[in-house]
Structure 1
Amino acid sequence: MNFVAMDFETANHEKHSAVSIALAVVRDNQIVDQFYSLIKPETSFSHYNTKIHGIHQVDVAQAPQFPDIWPTIAPLFTADKLVVAHNAPFDNGVLKGTLDYYGLPEPHYMLLDTVQTSRKLFPNFQNHKLNTVAENLGIALEHHHNALDDAVAAANILIYESQQFGDSALKSFVKNK
């Protein structure tokens, strides 16, 4: 299976408030590349969000803004590419909200949510949070809510599901965006 797993952390509840992004590129069920960047958002920081991910406004003061990063990662978001996230409505919403905020064209790509696949394939798990699913599958997740660690964990969850159940079992979860 070939795909890119993405994860965002945000400064607050606003969809354009990304403070970090990570991507894990998977080819033939192997992570072959990773991308991580802090992002300087044009918004305020929520104490609640900072408490979750540990990223403070001072940490992103010299970071690039999203339009500076987008040209580097945009080629991974095309109609023939599968993008994966654990709780994809959140991460996809942040991507689309940020693109809209900066007036950048919205790409079309295929999207798969590993929360949904986990609920279907592992209905007996206590819950289907990223850290719970990773732990139950024996997947390392060193720093939950670190975008890179979360993207890698989401990638490994889908790799595990693909190897255990086959790609055909996952196709019904793919949505076009």
Structure 2
Amino acid sequence: MDFIAMDFETANRKRASACSLALVVVQQNKVVDSFYTLINPQMQFDAQNIHIHGITPEMVQDQPTFDQVWPHIQMFYTPGRIVTAHNAPFDVSVMRLTLDRYGIAAPRYQVIDTVKTSRQFLPKLPNHRLDTVSAALHIPLEHHHNALADSYACARILIAENEHFGEARIKSMMKLSKAG
């Protein structure tokens, strides 16, 4: 199975406040590449968000804004591409609203939510948070809420599910991202 795992962290409660992004590229069920960047959201940070992910305004002040990052990653977001995220509605909305903020048209791509797949395939877990699912599948997650660590965990969850339950069952849970 070929796909991209993505994860965003935000500066505050606004979904258009992306302050970090990671992508993990999977081809034939193997991680082959990754991308990580801090992003200057050009917005105020909330203390609660800083507490969760550890990213501060000082860390992003000289980093690119999302419109500067987009040309380097837009090739990963095409109609035939599968993108996965753990709690995909959040990450897809961060992408869409951040693009909208900069006047960039939101692409359409296929989405698989590993929260949804883990609920289907691992129904007896006490919850389906990323750290819980990772632990159940013996997937390392040392820096939860670091976008790159979370993307790797998400990718490995989908790889494990694909190996145990099959690509057809996973793809039956796919949705098309919403552009508007």
**Map of 2:16 onto structure 1:** 16
**Map of 2:136 onto structure 1:** 136
Q: Which amino acid is the alignment partner of residue 2 of structure 1?
A: D
Map Cα deviations across residues 111-150 of structure 1 (whole Å, 9 max, x no partner).
Answer: 0100000001000011000000000100011100000000
**Is residue 41 of structure 1 aligned with residue 41 of structure 2?**
yes
**Map of 2:176 onto structure 1:** 176
Distance (Å, rounded) in 2 between the aligned partners of 1:52 and 1:159: 27
Shift of 1:85: 0.1
Distance (Å, rounded) in 1 between the aligned partners of 2:115 and 2:16: 22
Distance (Å, rounded) in 2 between the aligned partners of 1:164 and 1:119: 15
Structure 1: tracts of 5 or more residues without a match:
none
Distance (Å, rounded) in 2 between the aligned partners of 1:91 and 1:58: 24
**Map of 2:72 onto structure 1:** 72
What is the CA RMSD across the aligned residues, in angstroms? Answer: 0.5
**Map of 1:122 onto structure 2:** 122
Q: Which amino acid is the alignment partner of residue 82 of structure 1?
A: I
* Aligned pairs (5 A) from 1:49-68: 49-68=49-68
Q: Secondary structure of the equivalent of 1:45?
A: coil
TM-score by length of 1: 0.99
**Map of 2:104 onto structure 1:** 104
Counting aligned pairs with the same residue, the percent is 50
Map Cα deviations across residues 97-122 of structure 1 (whole Å, 9 max, x no partner).
Answer: 10000000110100010000000100
**Map of 2:164 onto structure 1:** 164
Distance (Å, rounded) in 2 between the aligned partners of 1:176 and 1:11: 26
**Map of 2:81 onto structure 1:** 81
Distance (Å, rounded) in 2 between the aligned partners of 1:14 and 1:97: 9
Q: Which amino acid is the alignment partner of residue 49 of structure 2?
A: N
Map Cα deviations across residues 148-174 of structure 1 (whole Å, 9 max, x no partner).
Answer: 000000000000000001101111210
TM-score by length of 2: 0.97
Map Cα deviations across residues 18-60 of structure 1 (whole Å, 9 max, x no partner).
Answer: 0000000000000000000000002110000000000000000
Q: Which amino acid is the alignment partner of residue 39 of structure 2?
A: I
Give 4+ residue runs of structure 1 displaced > 4 Å after superposition.
none
Q: Secondary structure of the equivalent of 1:143?
A: coil
Q: Secondary structure of the equivalent of 1:170?
A: helix
Q: Secondary structure of the equivalent of 2:93?
A: helix
